[in-house]
Amino acid sequence: MKRIALFLLLTGCTASEPASPPLLQAPPAKPPGVPAAIATEGVPAIPQEITQRLAQFQSARSASFEDFGPDGSILIATRFAETSQLHVVPFPGGRREQITFTPEPVSGGIFVPGTSDVLYTQARGGDENYQVYRLDRKQGRATLLTDGKSRNGLGPVSRAADRVVLSSNRRNGKDTDLYLLDLKTGATEMLLETKGEFWAPLDWSADDARLLLLRIVSVNENYPFVLDLKTRQRSPLPALGPGKSASGSLRFLSDGRIVQSSDAQGEFRQMAILDPATSKPDWTKTSWDVTDIEIAGERIAYVINEDGASKLMLTHPDAAVDLPVGIVSGLRVSHDGRRLGFTLSRPDAPSDAYTYELAEKKLVRWTYSETGGLDPSTFVVPQRISYKSFDQREIPAYVYKPRGAKKAPVVISIHGGPEGQYQPFFTPLTQYWVTDLGIAVIAPNVRGSTGYGKTYVALDNAEKREDSVKDIGALLDWIATQPDLDASRVAVFGGSYGGYMVLASLVHFGDRIKAGVDIVGIANFITFLEKTSGYRVDLRRVEYGDERDPKMRAVFERISPSNHADRIKSALLVAHGRNDPRVPFFEAEQIAAKVRAQGRPVWTVYADNEGHGFAKKENRDYLSAAMTLFFKKTLLE
């Protein structure tokens, strides 16, 4: 509900007849503890016992590796107040020195090579119109390098450290063009003007004469190119196999050869070294996807995603880095090629920044993120299981079970994407639900998830969309066979595409689901595609289908949850940011209104200063508490 100001209205009365005071109706008072930017309806006051205990879990922090500094330090992102900001760590375990201080979260940063300056990106109020800034650390002043209005992305820096590639939709708000930003003068020049295509810049050649680009069509189809900086001509790399394929990381070797991951030879993205002159790739065969590649001198470092866990590999000689079980992300190589930096996320510990010293073969932990004073030994590590769906296909999932539970209620947590994958990493809210409330949490990777081969990721495309919903029905069947899980007390929870899955599950399996939490979810594919930001719509049509095609539109009419609100009988909580550029706020408004029109209660949590998710700690903490109360009332009372 919008906050309104009250005004005294002039009534035009004469002096001899004084006016009666106007009848003013004050807006409904907010329940205590609701942040200023959040409006709620139907949500009762949150008991202190929830907010106080949850505050300890929510005080846990994490740190992500961003870049190597010029003086041996590293750059990390972490939160010490409301939002994630950039910090410099001078040595392993050293004090974190905060260098950005803004009310909005900083989404990523890199050092300008050879200087102490930092380039970083930041949006406002969750609108995802990221701007690029240069922070002069000596002056303590940040300079805006982009137009302040469009959506911009920070690409790779040249080997000479004089230019950086930017992506921006500044020209027309829809097409994402590529620009070169001169780091000395701040001037930009057009590098590639796009028309209805999406191009990603990935790497510079050793002599800064060429750029590796990727033209992205969908998760299962993209095309790598080499761009000549002098002639501005684009040349496609030779195809690595027949038919459509998708590549991931691409990097230049010092001799001009190209390393890339591609699924052209099978189900998974495997690593290939390609000499464009001979068109004969040298493959490194793997049974899972290669998700990241970096070049360290003559050695290649790459990450394999093995069923949700990461394995960090090196070549020359071939070796696996000895790591704790977890997820490696943000892999970067130092400018001298002697160290690798990355973030390591584990299911029972917050994410932290690490380096690997190549010559010494030594893993070094740089940050030690706090767990809010909680005992890490009490945290639950999930079990990996699989279950059969309607077509006998095995669906992988991770199960967090309360210790000693005899008949635990269940929350099914459905990831977004849809081209995403649940990987087990530390989530304070999940640990709170499992360890303190005794609720089991199950995170399935339904068909359409990445990480299990290109056939699997395409199984929910277009008219097959509801096959992934059937995978949730099969999970409900599996829960009913487990002696320590209570199939009569099940809730579903998800964000973005996962929010659609929540609503669709309530439509189809409402008799077996007591409650659902829809966060920034899609309620109607037609209105979603018509209202999502222009720079996204073509990529989304490739994944979901084109609402302008009558046949596909008929499918959307049939499967969109907002068209079947009368079938939603379960308790419902809807949360959304009003500035969401991906899934427009209208999606929340329409599903909440339609379910309420059926006489069903709906809790709504809407944030004025958020977009696709709740990034500010105050807002996120409140939503977490509201969801916890919601699950307590629907699953535990």
Give the mean pLDDT of 131-143: 93
Residue found under tokens 């969801």: 627
Give the mean pLDDT of 265-282: 89
Domain assignment present for residue 574? The answer is yes
16 has pLDDT over 50: no
160 has pLDDT over 50: yes
Angle, CA of 416, 259 and 289, to the nearest 5°: 35
Domain assignment present for residue 176? The answer is no
542 has pLDDT over 90: no
Give the mean pLDDT of 512-536: 93
Choose the weakest-confidence range: 31-35, 73-77, 497-501, 502-506. Answer: 31-35
Q: CA nearest 263: which of 448, 421, 451, 459?
A: 451
Domain assignment present for residue 387? The answer is yes
Q: pLDDT confidence of 83, banded at 50, 70, 90?
A: confident
586 has pLDDT over 50: yes
The pLDDT assigned to 93 comes to: 96
Mean pLDDT of the chain: 90
Domain assignment present for residue 10? The answer is no
The bridge status of strand 571-577 relative to strand 515-519 is parallel
Write out the residue range of the structural domain in which residue 433 sits.
Answer: 48-57+373-636
Domain assignment present for residue 168? The answer is no
Domain assignment present for residue 228? The answer is no
Q: CA nearest 333: which of 557, 113, 142?
A: 113
624 has pLDDT over 70: yes
Quote the CA–CA distance of 243 and 247 in Å, as a whole number.
13
27 has pLDDT over 60: no
Q: Residue 453, Cβ neighbours under 10 Å: how many?
A: 16
Quote the CA–CA distance of 610 and 225 in Å, as a whole number.
36
Interval 140-155: pLDDT, tens? 899 999 999 999 999 9
Domain count, the chain: 1
Residue found under tokens 């590999």: 313
Residue 75 in 3-state DSSP?
strand
Quote the CA–CA distance of 297 and 466 in Å, as a whole number.
48
Domain assignment present for residue 138? The answer is no
Residue 513 in 3-state DSSP?
coil
17 has pLDDT over 70: no
96 has pLDDT over 70: yes
Quote the CA–CA distance of 526 and 503 in Å, as a whole number.
15
Angle, CA of 247, 250 and 251, to the nearest 5°: 165
Structure tokens at 524: 């109607």
Domain assignment present for residue 398? The answer is yes
Choose the weakest-confidence range: 15-24, 334-343, 434-443, 447-456. Answer: 15-24
74 has pLDDT over 80: yes
The pLDDT assigned to 12 comes to: 30
| CATH for 484 | 3.40.50.1820
CB 563 within 8 A of CB 179: no
Quote the CA–CA distance of 186 and 184 in Å, as a whole number.
6
Q: Which residues of 546-561 are buried (b: 16+ CB within 10 A; e: fewer)?
A: bbeeeebbebbeebbb
